[in-house]
């Protein structure tokens, strides 16, 4: 069952590419993993926060570091 959940989470993240920029998804995945939250729900939550002004600033800073 854990294996199946992992596959479903992976597919959920892939589906995010329909409505989000690839750069934003990559940053959201990195943020989720670095905070210990490795679920697709965490990635979705972070993507929603990208729409707030403070996250836009964080997003620019992350891109500059790469």
pLDDT value at residue 62? 52
List, for residues 4-47, the tens digit of each pLDDT value. Answer: 888 999 999 999 999 888 988 999 999 999 999 989 999 999 99
Select the more confidently predicted residue: 63 or 40: 40
pLDDT value at residue 5? 87
Instruction: Give 5: exposed, middle or buried? Use CB within 10 Å, 0-12, 13-18, 19+.
Output: exposed
Maximum distance among all Cα pairs of the chain, rounded to whole angstroms: 39
- Tell me phi and psi for residue 51, to 5 degrees: -80, -5
- Split at pLDDT 50, 70, 90, the class of 52 is low
The pLDDT of residue 51 is above 60: yes
């Amino acid at each position: 069952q854990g294996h199946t959940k992992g596959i479903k989470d992976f597919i959920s993240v892939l589906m995010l590419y329909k409505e989000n920029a690839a750069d934003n998804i990559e940053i959201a995945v990195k943020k989720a993993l670095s905070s210990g939250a490795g679920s697709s729900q965490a990635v979705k939550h972070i993507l929603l926060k990208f729409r707030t002004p403070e996250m836009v600033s964080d997003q620019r800073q992350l891109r500059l570091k790469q």
